[in-house]
A = this chain, B = another copy of it.
Amino acid sequence: MNNDHKFKRGLMTGRFQPFHNGHLALARQALSECDELVIVIGSAQFNFIEKDPFTAGERVMMIHAALAEAGVDLSKCYIIPVANDENNARWLAHLRSQVPSFDALYSGNDFVDHLARSQDPSLAVKRPKFTKRQEYNGSNIRSLIVAGKVKGWKHLVPPAVAKAIEDVGGVERIKVLARSDSNPARW
């Protein structure tokens, strides 16, 4: 372990729909305190739905590209999609089965914090320093994309993510998914 680092391996989790500058700031924070970082892409089984437009694979690609662009050392990073598990009481055990071992969890979410503490009181839970959550928020970014103003959302995500969204036709996709008939339940 690097002597300047408090932890061997940190972990952060999110749906990353899409990965934005708030996420990138948290990754940087974690890498300043940990030797390595695991980034867990949650809800990996979902895609092409309104709140989960991108596939797990597209999200892996976005995050990888954004970290590379930001000069992060990718040999210290693990980017891993994990499907949801409906039984929250085994959340930590489920997560641990899918990722390398970790000794710090980075999360600004009270619920994740609560789950982690109730399932392993010895696990360090660290809060994000960067917290403009109103603005840097997947739901907000998707709404801005639907609203159709490029200036509205592009500054909120790393350039590599904006490019990846456009490369996969993500703007059009998010607009289609926002329409009322995009819910298979309504077919």
Contact = CB atoms under 8 A, between A and B. Distances in A.
Contacts of A173: 114, 118
B89 A93 contact: yes
Nearest to A113: B176
A179 B110 contact: yes
Contact of A89 (B14, B51, B55): B55
Interface of A: 13-15, 42-49, 51, 55-58, 60-61, 64, 68, 74-75, 78-81, 83-84, 86-94, 96-101, 109-112, 114-115, 118-119, 139, 169, 173, 176-177, 179, 181-187
A112 to B, nearest CB: 7
Stoichiometry (number of copies): 6
Given A75-B74, A83-B83, A88-B48, A181 B93 contact: no
A110 B182 contact: yes
Contact of A110 (B15, B101, B181): B181
18 contacts: A15-B185, A42-B184, A43-B184, A43-B187, A48-B88, A48-B114, A48-B115, A49-B88, A56-B99, A57-B80, A57-B97, A57-B98, A61-B100, A78-B79, A84-B184, A87-B97, A90-B96, A111-B183
